[in-house]
Amino acid sequence: MSKNANPSGDPDASRQHPTGFVQLKSRWRSWLGGLSGGRRLTLSIAHIAFSNWLRTFLVLVSSLVVARILGPELMGHYATARLLAFYAGPIHLGAPQGAEQQVPILRGAGDDARARDMKDSVFTLVLVEAGFLALFGAIVLLLSWTFDDAKAPIVLGGGAMLAAATMALHLVNIDLYVRKQFRAVSMKTLAASLVTVVSLPLVAFGLLGAVIRQIGLLAAEALAGVRFGKFDYRPCYRADLLRTAIRIGLPVCLMAFLQQYLTALDRTLVRVLLGAEALGIYAIAAVVSGLALALPQAFSNVLYPTVGERYGQTGDARQAAKDLLKPLPYLIAFLLPAMPIGVMLLPYPIELLLPSYVAGIPSARVAVLVCGFSILGYPTFYFYIVRRLGVLLGILSCSLVVQVLVSFALYHKGVGLVSFMIGTALATLCYAMLTNGYLILVARGRIVLGGVPRVPKG
């Protein structure tokens, strides 16, 4: 008998028992069909994932070029400037995060006027703050010409201007995502990919050129978002809505800061304990760890406003958890073969193109695992929507404790630079397991959450 024969004799048996691919396609459609605009969401996720992957790939390639030109020491100073920009992030007191969370909920509740006023008031505050940061950074960069060793002022001024450009880009992203301008997001990212390549000659001017190039990349992406997405902003200041955004967004901001700290703590420890050159070598691993974040970013950025609006309409936290858990098995199936392949192949391009950074290969290989574990943590924004930041704080605290204990234990045993990336890998794994474990308990009804968090009237 042929192995493809139908033992039941039923001509419709093949339709009754679809192949794995058909089942996968059917389940995906079923999951997205439960959300508003399911097919449009599929295309949005695909467009944003593709543009993010393209941009991330080009960023990886260009980062290797930057690393080769600068060398480990200057690369370490460049990474320090970016760390300073990261630590300046919470200066806006969480107002953008509050707006990002509450605007979709207000729109889902039919309160479009207050949603618009809240967004524009927050934008006014952040633009003023970014303007002051940019002015300070520009003055320091100009004064760097008067120093015999200009590294310190370039790092300080560049970090301030990078923080300002990052804040401006964040505002553009919020505007595009809450208005569901996903095609504009893709076009913005593709434009940034082009600038990533054409701006590489600036690195020939050393540390200053590399910092100016990174500032220009962020500014160009923000301007592209304004151009393609028809940036929707009018000067507005409503103190009541601004206070509400800060009250709601400050805990969210601190949680987001702690979450990103999982991938910044290791670089901070390397810089403090081992110096700029060691951070430059380690920066290759940090670049690798950011390579695979395009897919979870595509999921989160598209689903955040969509799930937020649906939760604003229904208040069903259990259904939201079920929706967000649907892609998890497929991501695991993708990562199981992808991570070992990445670990095996990664050393070859570093040995060939960056012989000065071979000491960072063990850290870079572990960074591949960080990529995979980070992808599995994509449902993080669920805690923001259902206002369970205390739970998220507990998860982050456990993960950071794991990171610190493992990193210092291995470092003091003489394991070396890779100690910090191993600590990061185990921390991201802990974070992903606890995050998805909580959602599974909610989806199964073991944890019962309340209804929609309303914004007070007034």
Task: Kindly write down the DSSP assignment for every residue of 208-258, as one continuous string.
Answer: HHHHHHHHHHHHHHHHHHHHHHT--------HHHHHHHHHHHHHHHHHHHH
User: Could you give the 3-state DSSP secondary structure of residue 2?
Assistant: coil
- Judge contact between 246 and 42, C-beta under 8 A: no
Could you tell me the CA-to-CA distances from 125 to 230, 232, 246, 348, 370 in Å, in that order?
20, 16, 11, 47, 35
User: Could you give the 3-state DSSP secondary structure of residue 346?
Assistant: coil
Q: Which residue has the tokens 């805690």?
A: 383
- Both tokens of 93, joined, read 């007191």
Task: Return the closest-CA partner of residue 67 out of 218, 263, 200.
Answer: 200
DSSP state of 316: -
- Tell me the HSE value of 103 on the side-chain side, using a 13 A CA sphere: 25
Which pLDDT score, from 0 to 100, does residue 14 have? 38
Identify the burial level of 110 via C-beta atoms within 10 angstroms of its C-beta, where 0-12 means exposed, 13-18 middle and 19 or more buried. Answer: exposed
State the Cα–Cα distance between residues 153 and 144, nearest whole angstrom.
5
- Judge contact between 217 and 195, C-beta under 8 A: yes
DSSP state of 118: H
Which pLDDT score, from 0 to 100, does residue 291 have? 61
State the Cα–Cα distance between residues 85 and 91, nearest whole angstrom.
11
- Report pTM: 0.73
State the Cα–Cα distance between residues 5 and 15, nearest whole angstrom.
14
- Judge contact between 316 and 107, C-beta under 8 A: no
CB atoms within 10 A of CB 344: 11
Could you tell me the CA-to-CA distances from 32 to 29, 43, 222, 384 in Å, in that order?
5, 11, 30, 21
Cα Rg, the chain, nearest whole Å: 23
State the Cα–Cα distance between residues 424 and 431, nearest whole angstrom.
10
- Reported as a single tens digit per residue, the pLDDT across 197-221 is 889 999 999 999 999 999 998 988 8
- Judge contact between 292 and 353, C-beta under 8 A: no
The distance from CA 108 to its chain's CA centroid, rounded to whole angstroms, is 25
Which pLDDT score, from 0 to 100, does residue 408 have? 94
State the Cα–Cα distance between residues 441 and 428, nearest whole angstrom.
20
Which pLDDT score, from 0 to 100, does residue 161 have? 93
Query: Residue 35: which region, alpha, beta or left (left: phi > 0; alpha: psi -120 to 50)?
Result: beta
Identify the burial level of 369 via C-beta atoms within 10 angstroms of its C-beta, where 0-12 means exposed, 13-18 middle and 19 or more buried. Answer: buried
Task: Return the closest-CA partner of residue 380 out of 299, 457, 453.
Answer: 299
How many Å is the maximal CA-CA distance in the chain? 88
- Tell me the HSE value of 435 on the side-chain side, using a 13 A CA sphere: 28
Q: Which residue has the tokens 């950011």?
A: 290
CA angle 161–141–198, rounded 5-degree value:
65
Which pLDDT score, from 0 to 100, does residue 13 have? 40
- Judge contact between 155 and 80, C-beta under 8 A: yes
DSSP state of 452: -
- Judge contact between 244 and 118, C-beta under 8 A: yes
Low-confidence ranges of the chain (pLDDT < 70): 1-53, 108, 178-180, 182, 290-306, 308, 450-458
Which pLDDT score, from 0 to 100, does residue 62 have? 85
State the Cα–Cα distance between residues 185 and 149, nearest whole angstrom.
40
